[in-house]
Chains A and B, each alone.
Chain A
Amino acid sequence: MRPDSEPARWRGTTVRAVAIAIGAAAILAFPAVAANPYMLTVGIGILNYAVLATAWNFVGGFTGYISLGHGALSGLGAYGTGLLITGAGLPSFVALGVAAVIVGVLAIPIGIAALRVRGASFVIVSIALVLILLLVFQSWAQLTGGSRGFVVPRPFPHLHRAEHHLVFFFLFAGLLALALVAWWLIDRSHFGLGLKAIREDEDKAQSLGIPTFAAKLVVFVVSAVFTALGGGLYALWFGDLDPVFQFSVLSGSTTVLIALLGGVRHLFGPLLGALVVGAGLEYFKLEYGDTPLHLVATGVLLGGVVMFMPEGIIPGLFGLYRRWFAPSDVSIREVTAAALLDASRRVPEDRERASREAGR
């Protein structure tokens, strides 16, 4: 464990709690500050990105597997919700829940097939999943409306459009909170520890007795459920589904970019990434219109992150800051073995001192 030169832990916790409270208040206050309903839709778009990226981060952050195919799961959630409403007559939010459960169940065989392979094959399989579902949903037009689109009935048909956006803003915020809490719980748990071991070195984790395959599968299913909830909620809000947009490798990879940007190891990393990317895309659209340049920008950004800051821009920038202004906090790679030994000897002393101070 690294030497911790930060102030005592109880102060850190309070600051953290206050910061979270302020952040939550900011999000809840946004609709009041937003100048017009259009900005609200932009806000919903960002929350949607954040939900999908956080859901993706269950797999990407904990196990280290990069799935470019989460678009398949959100698309299934979206169409599932829509079909349950129009075909089975379920009320909107019941359909949402049932669709998410169905996708979770489907995720088991998908996970079993996909998680057996690693690395390049896993990515290829995840992409192939999205593409084959795209073909299926385009061809099975009788069921899905094909490329003519699928209309999802409004859950609250009597609302004026601006009110509709308002309600869904809070619904998305609620879903995001749920996903964040779940991520946080796994992060602190023993289960999460096992997953992180898989991320560090899967073979060694396996030899330590961690049931790697079962653990990966469980977290994949959790990720799938949250992704499907995000997709289904989007379907209820947006109302019009087209296979080309629901089963899109591009949107799946935007999710990955968002998570990478904000930092996959952190709870709020995907949310941060969503803010940056969402605001950036919106700015681009308003300044330059709908040009393909934003694709170039996304590509350059993703390439830059991969090449130079694979732990995420925000963590990367703060790492730079720390290296600049607090040079004792260096990366473990740059510490010699002797200094490391020295530091690890100091930790129990720190902890004793901290507990003495706390007890005072």
Chain B
Amino acid sequence: MSAALVVQSLVLGVLLGGLYALLAAGLTLYFGVMRVVMIAHSAFLILAAYLAWYFHSLTGLDPLLSLPITVPVFFGGGVALQRLLLARLRPATRTMMSVLLTFAIALVIEGGLGTVFTGTQRRIQLGYSGASLELFGARVAVVKLIAFALAAAAMAALYLVLTKTKFGQALRATIQHREAAQLVGIQTDRIAGYGFGLGLATAAIGGTALALDSTIYPSLHWRWIGPLMAIIVVGGLGSVPGTAIAAMLLGMLMSLLQIPLGTTWAQTVFYLALFATLAFRPHGLFGGRLATRF
């Protein structure tokens, strides 16, 4: 185990963490907005990845160019999902039922992808798929850099929307205290719908970023839902900055642990962090009052 390997893993971990942050951001938004555990989020990620791959195989253009199409579609889908399905659940049992309902949606997506694209594993082959750059003494694949840049840009945009726009402030108010937000005149139902749309839009971007350097197959979402759920619990349910920090921390930790432990054992770090958080600090890093009575 050499110093170069450690540096390599650290850099890889940062890139990975950035991507995880984007992938998990939507998940924590859904929870904050509606106390809904959206198990289908990772299925939507894979759906977006498939759409990017399909776009590339159909047109031969760079998959990133599919974003102007997929992002609005996913946004609309998110709003529809919230208004038509989730809002219909009875509030008393909403959290529990939403788990089952979104689970059902994930199954439908997986089955649909399998039927349309078959279970064959797909990978986008771009001219620059094998290219790499020297960065901070480590060899970094160009596609990983692009994915990270995309994730960083999306997170920055999300941050700006949440802090600088009126909609973002209304969303944060709804997350913080729904009744109080209603009292100051915010249309929480509509905002909740848009919040969901925002979450799913991040899934569109995240899935496309994922597709650049990953092999995709319909049941891949099972591999992602665990780590993403762990990230949002560790970061604090409902808190986007918490998620970002937890993602970076866990991403780097996992990458470093891969050297002594190997890929599979290293993945357990997410679950161990999850259990530890629930045992010792149930509201995570930044969860606050949200986490106590979900």
Contacts and interface: CB of A to CB of B under 8 A. Distances in A.
Q: Do chains A and B touch in the complex (CB under 8 A)?
A: yes
A127 B225 CA distance: 9
B100 A128 contact: no
B271 A295 contact: no
B103 A68 contact: yes
A139 B264 contact: yes
A132 B269 CA distance: 9
A66 B229 contact: no
Given A119-B95, A131-B271, A138-B264, A296 B229 contact: no
Contact of A249 (B93, B222, B237): B222
Contact of B271 (A132, A297, A303, A306): A132
B265 A307 contact: no
Contacts of B103: 68, 253, 299, 302
Among A300, A302, A306, residue most surrounded by chain B Cβ atoms (within 10 Å):
A306
B278 A123 contact: no
Contacts of B233: 121, 124
B213 interface: no
A209 interface: no
A2 B112 CA distance: 45
Given A124-B37, A135-B264, A292-B119, A307 B88 contact: yes
A113 interface: yes
Interface in A284-305: 291-303
Nearest to A116: B278
A251 B216 CA distance: 22
B268 A135 contact: yes
Contacts of A338: none
A128 B275 contact: yes
Interface string B201-241: 00000000000000000100010011001100100010000
B101 A303 contact: yes
B30 to A, nearest CB: 11
A296 B282 CA distance: 35
Contacts of A124: 37, 229, 233, 274
Contact of A295 (B31, B114, B229): B114
A136 B226 CA distance: 14
Contact of B97 (A132, A298, A306): A306
Contacts of B112: 292, 296
Interface string A123-143: 111011001100110110000
A25 interface: no
A24 interface: no
B294 A306 contact: no
Contacts of A135: 264-265, 267-268, 271
B230 A128 contact: yes
A5 B226 CA distance: 50
A68 B101 CA distance: 13
Given A121-B233, A123-B96, A127-B226, A139 B265 contact: yes
Given A120-B95, A302-B104, A306-B101, A113 B226 contact: no
Nearest to B114: A292
B115 interface: yes
A346 interface: no
Interface residues of A, number: 41
A132 B225 CA distance: 12
A295 B274 contact: no
B108 to A, nearest CB: 4
B96 A292 contact: no
Contacts of B99: 66, 68, 120, 123
A80 B88 CA distance: 43
Contacts of A123: 37, 96, 99
B229 A302 contact: no
Nearest to A119: B95
Given A128-B226, A291-B115, A306-B97, A117 B278 contact: yes
A148 interface: no
A242 to B, nearest CB: 14
Nearest to A303: B104
B62 to A, nearest CB: 29
A237 B104 CA distance: 30
A256 interface: yes
Interface in B54-95: 85, 88-89, 93, 95
Interface in A129-185: 131-132, 135-136, 138-139
Contacts of B107: 250, 295-296, 298-299, 302
A307 B105 CA distance: 12
A294 B108 CA distance: 9
Contacts of A117: 278, 282
Given A303-B101, A307-B85, A291 B114 contact: yes
B19 interface: no
Contact of A306 (B100, B108, B109, B274): B100
A100 B218 CA distance: 34
A243 to B, nearest CB: 10
Interface in B255-280: 262, 264-265, 267-268, 271-272, 274-275, 278-279
Contacts of A120: 31, 35, 37, 95-96, 99, 237, 294
30 contacts: A66-B99, A68-B99, A113-B279, A119-B95, A120-B95, A121-B278, A123-B96, A124-B233, A128-B226, A132-B226, A135-B267, A139-B264, A249-B222, A250-B222, A253-B100, A291-B115, A292-B110, A292-B111, A292-B113, A293-B111, A295-B107, A295-B111, A296-B111, A296-B115, A298-B111, A299-B103, A299-B110, A299-B111, A302-B103, A310-B97
Given A135-B267, A249-B222, A292-B112, 14 more contacts: A68-B99, A116-B278, A120-B31, A120-B35, A121-B278, A124-B233, A292-B113, A292-B115, A292-B218, A295-B107, A297-B111, A298-B104, A300-B104, A303-B101
Interface of A: 66, 68, 113, 116-121, 123-125, 127-128, 131-132, 135-136, 138-139, 249-250, 253, 256, 260, 291-303, 306-307, 310
